[in-house]
Every structure is written in structure tokens, then in C-alpha cells.
């Protein structure tokens, strides 16, 4: 078995981490790719990740800490929320940190852009012994730059045709338009998220939902005038899930 590189690029299938890997590859740098499979990924993400690894000929390591459904069941179908983001910690951070600790990784590179100063300032190494690096920031690459780099190699995730970001299909922090796009493009996944929400409403005090302001059933059945009254979330998806 080939030895794991001391330099890791954490990828999600999104434009930022894809562009980061492409940037380093163009420079001739050595690194491996690391992807956390949450069991709730869009098919487009599952397609994009190995396509990237194949194009740049870098090893791809896929880690998991169990599926989203298994953890959701453990929580009694209490959905993750804008306040309690148990999904990110359990399904992304824990398996990635365990992998890096096991293989004595020196540097973990994350796709934070130069036009995201607040996010860049909030990033801290999560595991002992490795450095957290932000090469896109150092290179001065913003949103337009990373999208252009992905398109250069035909590796821009097709999710961006109708969705604002790449995250789990059941991310509690996605935008209203992302939910509606899923209803059009992946109705079965929307139906599954709606069923999980129904179970959460029935098992929680106060009827806990994906959104503070509306349910997926409300969203699915509302007309355009009604939809306009539903607010978006206050915050975006977790950084580690969308880069």
C-alpha cells in the first residue's frame, strides 16, 4: 500500500476545494485528497470527487464515521440545526481528524478563498500535529477565479447549475432556493428529507424542523406569493461541508 502523503487537500466536490487541488497540481506539488462520505451526498458530488482524483492523478482517501441516517436515528430523529450542528462534527470533522492523526499528516489544506476574510480568520487546526494551510488565500484567488479554474478542466460540479453550494442534500442551513431546486432536480431526496422532518416534528417538543420558519411540506405546497413570505436562513452551510 502506498504511503499517505504528509500534505492533504480536504475536498467536498465543491468549486473551492476542486480549484485548490487543481492549483497545487498545476504547480507540481505533492498531496493526497481526503473526502468524508456522510451518506447524504448528492450524486453529483459522488461523481465529481473521483473525477478530480482521476484528472490530477492524486490518491483519493474516503473516510466515514457512519451514515447520516445512523446518527439521525441515534438522536431520535432530532434534526441537526443552525444551533446544534452535530452533523458536521460527527460526519466530517471526526473522520478527517482521525485519518490525519493516524497517518501523521503535516499539513491539511482547505479551500478558503481570498474573498472570504471572515471565514479565513475563523479557521483553526482541529487536530494536533498538523498545520492548517489556505493556499487560495495566499494566491489571492476569489470566487470568479476558482470557478474559472474548475471550468478550465471541465470539473465544475453540475450542482452549481441550480444550487448555490455543494453540501449534503439534507443540510439544515441551505437556502430556500436550494430546497426548491432539489424538489425539481432530485424529488426523491426532497421527499426523504421531508419524511425525516415529519419524524422529527412528531418526536420533538415544539415540532422541530429543518427551518425555523417553515416546513418542507409548506415549501412544497406553497404558491409563489406564499413562497415570497418565507425567509431564508440566517447563516450559510458549515465551511467544511461546502469548500
Over the stretch 162-184, which tens digit does the pLDDT of each residue have?
999 999 999 988 999 999 999 99
| Rg of the chain (C-alpha set) | 18
Domain extents in the chain: 7-162
Find all residues with CB under 8 Å of 72, minimum gap 6, and list them. 78, 79, 196
Is the pLDDT at 68 greater than 60? The verdict is: yes
Per-residue H/E/C for 20-84: HHHHHHHCCCCCEEEEECCCCCCHHHHHHHHHHHHHHCCCEEEECCCCHHHHHHHCCCCCCCCCC
Spatial distance between the Cα atoms of 162 and 71, rounded to a whole number of angstroms:
28
pLDDT at 243: 58
Average pLDDT score over residue span 189-210: 92
Spatial distance between the Cα atoms of 36 and 10, rounded to a whole number of angstroms:
9
Average pLDDT score over residue span 47-68: 97
Burial class (CB in 10 A: 0-12, 13-18, 19+), 231: exposed
pLDDT at 130: 74
Average pLDDT, the chain: 90
Place of cell 495566499: 138
99-140: pLDDT as tens digits: 999 999 999 999 999 998 777 666 655 556 678 889 999 999
At residue 32, φ and ψ (nearest 5 deg) are: -110, 160
Is the pLDDT at 238 greater than 60? The verdict is: no
pLDDT at 1: 56
C-alpha pair distances (Å), 146 with each of 124, 153, 229: 22, 11, 34
The reported pTM is 0.91
C-alpha pair distances (Å), 82 with each of 91, 211, 221: 16, 8, 24
7-162, which class in CATH? alpha beta
- Where does 49-203 show beta strands of DSSP type E? 60-63, 107-109, 131-133
Query: What size, in residues, is the chain?
Result: 243
Burial class (CB in 10 A: 0-12, 13-18, 19+), 27: exposed
pLDDT band at 241 (very low <50, low <70, confident <90, very high): low
Is the pLDDT at 82 greater than 70? The verdict is: yes
Percent of the chain with pLDDT over 90: 74
Amino acid at each position: 500500500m502506498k504511503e499517505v502523503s504528509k500534505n492533504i487537500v480536504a475536498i467536498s466536490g465543491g468549486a473551492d476545494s476542486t480549484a485548490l487541488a487543481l492549483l497545487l497540481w498545476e504547480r507540481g506539488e505533492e498531496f493526497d485528497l481526503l473526502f468524508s462520505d456522510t451518506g447524504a451526498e448528492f450524486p453529483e458530488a459522488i461523481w465529481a470527487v473521483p473525477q478530480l482524483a482521476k484528472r490530477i492523478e492524486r490518491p483519493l482517501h474516503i473516510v466515514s464515521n457512519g451514515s447520516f441516517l445512523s446518527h439521525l436515528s441515534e438522536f431520535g430523529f432530532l434534526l441537526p440545526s443552525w444551533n446544534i450542528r452535530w452533523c458536521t462534527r460527527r460526519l466530517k470533522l471526526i473522520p478527517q481528524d482521525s485519518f490525519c492523526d493516524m497517518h501523521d499528516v503535516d499539513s491539511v489544506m482547505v479551500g478558503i478563498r481570498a474573498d472570504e476574510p471572515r471565514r479565513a480568520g475563523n479557521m483553526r487546526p482541529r487536530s494536533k500535529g498538523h498545520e492548517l494551510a489556505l493556499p487560495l488565500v495566499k494566491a489571492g484567488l476569489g470566487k470568479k477565479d476558482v470557478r474559472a479554474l474548475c471550468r478550465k478542466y471541465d470539473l465544475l460540479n453540475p450542482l452549481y447549475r441550480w444550487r448555490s453550494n455543494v453540501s449534503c442534500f439534507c443540510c439544515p442551513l441551505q437556502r430556500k432556493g436550494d430546497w426548491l431546486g432539489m424538489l425539481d432536480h432530485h424529488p426523491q431526496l426532497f421527499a426523504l428529507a421531508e419524511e425525516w422532518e415529519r419524524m422529527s416534528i412528531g418526536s420533538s417538543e415544539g415540532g422541530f424542523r429543518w427551518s425555523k420558519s417553515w416546513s418542507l411540506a409548506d415549501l412544497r405546497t406553497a404558491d409563489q406569493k406564499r413562497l415570497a413570505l418565507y425567509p431564508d436562513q440566517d447563516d450559510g452551510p458549515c465551511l467544511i461541508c461546502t469548500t
